[in-house]
């Protein structure tokens, strides 16, 4: 036998050694990409699987209704879109953020422009909306499909972090309340006056307070905590709009060091807190009025409506004068006309007069719960007061042309 046999020869098997057979391997299954030409096959393999979601049209429409109010003021394209995640959708303009529970929502890898959603929802009457993210790897584009129509989306990395918008730690304080409209009407519309263009939550007194410097309203709220927090007017207005639309009776507020989160039904509204100091409002409130004018709230509001229509400007001053027959209300506008109305009233000294802004008096009276309205009056230079259960309003008088003094 030759001595240079190859070393790879198999070793002779012993008869007693059993042979183990390797299991049969099934041939690899071929995907649709394997059937494509080589150039298209490499692109199909590298492209991520499209992500899609199906949501009820009514749920999406409820979110878009309020989301569009924030995105319309957004300073950059990404903020004019909504971020979709597991069963929720979020929008923000960097001052206020809105998050809504949206069953069926998923992360599709693309920010969806809210104006597009609003346009499609108004044009189509379908029960469900399917949204699909279609990243285009070759061109670097972010596209999406909504019920078969294709649009351009935006990069989710351009959207602020969710934890920065909605804090998750333990809040400093909490509160509960219903409608804040009785307080909102007293806040200033001047956005440069941050402390007055806001609602002040004074939890040590369980009060929500707002003032524009001429009229002040307060409302009792529920809280077992303490702390002073100043919430921007825009935030409270959005909360009130959502509360009315959802017919929600109670709003829950969580106050953090720099932010507030307000929960209304399936919506959450988060906002920064104002850092300016709210005025010492208690100092302008007289402890006790000298007289108490008693009259019907409905009769007063009807008279103010008629005078406002006659003089053509509800923000003008009117004169209240106590006569033997009741309360005489006179409004005058040289460019429109004048009107005097008489309302049955009692309790104020006959012959006394006071000037007041028509709109301020109207708003102060309409939120009183009782029809038997009681207005505290001292003199023509002291504030008028309306107190009715959890609601309180204070109106500063005004000097009118033609006043004798």
Per-residue pLDDT averaged across 168-186, rounded?
A: 96
Query: Is the separation of the CB atoms in 45 and 84 below 8 Å?
Result: no
Question: pLDDT tens-digit profile of 88-98?
Answer: 999 999 999 99
Asked, for residue 28, whether it belongs to a domain, the answer is no
Q: Among 4-18, 28-42, 50-64, 121-135, name the most confident range.
A: 50-64
Per-residue pLDDT averaged across 29-55, rounded?
A: 53
Domain coverage including residue 147 = 51-165
Q: Are residues 314 and 247 in the same domain?
A: no
Asked, for residue 177, whether it belongs to a domain, the answer is yes
Query: Is the separation of the CB atoms in 91 and 84 below 8 Å?
Result: no
Q: In whole angstroms, give the CA distance from residue 81 to residue 301.
A: 44
Q: Are residues 263 and 304 in the same domain?
A: no
In DSSP terms, which residues pair with 99 in a beta bridge?
90, 268
Per-residue pLDDT at 32 exceeds 80: no
**Cβ neighbours of residue 359 under 8 Å, at least 6 residues apart?**
308, 314, 315
> Angle 221-226-231 (CA atoms, 0-180°, nearest 5)?
60
Question: pLDDT tens-digit profile of 200-219?
Answer: 999 999 999 999 999 999 99
Asked, for residue 380, whether it belongs to a domain, the answer is yes
Strands 198-202 and 228-232: antiparallel
Q: What is the pLDDT of residue 79?
A: 95
Per-residue pLDDT averaged across 340-354, rounded?
A: 93
CA distances from 116 to 79, 149, 257, 279 (A): 14, 11, 36, 43
User: What are 276's two structure tokens?
Assistant: 């300016």
Q: What is the pLDDT of residue 296?
A: 96
Q: What is the pLDDT of residue 141?
A: 67
Q: Are residues 294 and 386 in the same domain?
A: yes
With b for 16 or more beta-carbon neighbours within 10 A and e for fewer, the 347-385 pattern comes to ebeeebbbbbbbbbbbbbbbbbeeeebbbbbbebeebbb
Question: pLDDT tens-digit profile of 277-314?
Answer: 999 998 878 778 999 999 999 999 999 999 999 988 77
Per-residue pLDDT at 162 exceeds 80: yes
Asked, for residue 319, whether it belongs to a domain, the answer is yes
Write the CATH number for 378: 3.10.150.10
Q: What is the pLDDT of residue 70?
A: 92
Last residue of a domain, one of 281, 305, 335: 281
Per-residue pLDDT averaged across 126-133, rounded?
A: 90
Q: Are residues 263 and 297 in the same domain?
A: no
Asked, for residue 43, whether it belongs to a domain, the answer is no
Q: Are residues 297 and 376 in the same domain?
A: yes
Q: Are residues 277 and 295 in the same domain?
A: no
- 3-state SS, one letter per residue, for 10-59: CCCCCCCCCCCCCCCCCCCCCCHHHHCCHHHHHHHHHCCCCEEEEEEHHH
Q: What is the pTM of this model?
A: 0.82
Quickly state the pLDDT bin for 188 (edges 50, 70, 90). very high
User: What are 70's two structure tokens?
Assistant: 């924030």
Q: Are residues 177 and 277 in the same domain?
A: yes
Quickly state the pLDDT bin for 125 (edges 50, 70, 90). confident
Q: In whole angstroms, give the CA distance from residue 55 to residue 60.
A: 7
Q: Are residues 274 and 302 in the same domain?
A: no
Last residue of a domain, one of 111, 131, 165: 165
Q: What is the pLDDT of residue 24?
A: 44
Q: What is the pLDDT of residue 138?
A: 52
DSSP one-letter code for 79: G
Asked, for residue 24, whether it belongs to a domain, the answer is no
Per-residue pLDDT averaged across 377-403, rounded?
A: 90
Quickly state the pLDDT bin for 14 (edges 50, 70, 90). very low
Q: Are residues 343 and 274 in the same domain?
A: no
Q: What percent of the chain has pLDDT over 90?
A: 67
Asked, for residue 20, whether it belongs to a domain, the answer is no
Q: Are residues 59 and 160 in the same domain?
A: yes
Per-residue pLDDT at 12 exceeds 60: no
313 or 47, which is more confident?
313
**Residue where the block lists tokens 């460019």:** 335
Q: What is the pLDDT of residue 246?
A: 95
Total number of domains in the chain: 3
Per-residue pLDDT at 77 exceeds 50: yes
Question: pLDDT tens-digit profile of 50-66?
Answer: 588 999 999 999 999 99
Per-residue pLDDT averaged across 107-111, rounded?
A: 92
User: What are 192's two structure tokens?
Assistant: 């440069």
Q: Are residues 150 and 75 in the same domain?
A: yes
Asked, for residue 27, whether it belongs to a domain, the answer is no
Q: Are residues 274 and 184 in the same domain?
A: yes
Last residue of a domain, one of 281, 304, 332: 281
- Quote the mean pLDDT of the chain: 86
Per-residue pLDDT at 265 exceeds 80: yes
């Amino acid at each position: 036998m030759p001595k240079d046999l190859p070393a790879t020869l198999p070793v002779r098997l012993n008869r007693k050694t059993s042979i183990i057979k390797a299991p049969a391997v099934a041939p690899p299954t071929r995907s649709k990409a394997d059937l494509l030409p080589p150039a298209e096959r490499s692109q199909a393999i590298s492209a991520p699987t499209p992500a899609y979601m199906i949501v009820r049209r009514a749920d999406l429409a409820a979110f878009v209704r309020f989301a569009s109010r924030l995105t319309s003021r957004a300073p950059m394209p990404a903020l004019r879109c909504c971020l979709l995640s597991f069963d929720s959708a979020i929008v923000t303009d960097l001052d206020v953020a809105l998050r809504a529970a949206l069953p069926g929502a998923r992360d599709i890898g693309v920010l969806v422009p809210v104006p597009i959603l609003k346009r499609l929802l108004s044009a189509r009457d379908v029960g469900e909306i399917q949204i699909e993210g279609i990243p285009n790897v070759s061109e670097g584009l972010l596209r999406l499909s909504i019920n078969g129509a294709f649009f351009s989306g935006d990069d989710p990395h351009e959207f602020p972090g969710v934890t920065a918008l909605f804090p998750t730690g333990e809040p400093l304080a909490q509160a509960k309340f219903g409608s804040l409209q009785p307080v909102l009407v007293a806040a200033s519309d001047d956005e440069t006056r941050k402390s007055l263009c806001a609602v002040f939550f004074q939890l040590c007194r369980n009060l929500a307070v707002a003032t524009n410097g001429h009229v002040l309203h307060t409302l009792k709220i529920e809280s077992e905590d303490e702390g002073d927090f100043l919430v921007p007017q825009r935030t409270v207005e959005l909360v009130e709009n959502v509360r009315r639309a959802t017919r929600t009776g109670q709003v829950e507020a969580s106050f953090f060091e720099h932010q507030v989160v307000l929960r209304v039904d399936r919506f959450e509204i988060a906002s920064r807190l104002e850092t300016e100091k709210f005025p010492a409002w208690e100092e302008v409130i007289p402890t006790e009025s000298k007289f108490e004018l008693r009259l019907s709230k409905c009769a007063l509001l009807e008279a103010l409506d008629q005078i406002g229509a006659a003089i053509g400007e509800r923000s003008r001053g009117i004169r209240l004068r106590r006569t033997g027959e009741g309360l005489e209300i006179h409004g005058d506008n040289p460019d429109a006309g004048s009107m005097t109305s008489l309302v049955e009233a009692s309790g104020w000294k006959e012959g006394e007069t006071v000037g007041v802004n028509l709109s301020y008096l109207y708003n102060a009276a309409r939120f009183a719960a009782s029809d038997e309205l009681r207005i505290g009056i001292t003199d023509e230079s002291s504030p008028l007061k309306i107190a009715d259960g959890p609601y309180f309003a204070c109106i500063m008088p005004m000097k009118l042309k033609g006043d004798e003094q």
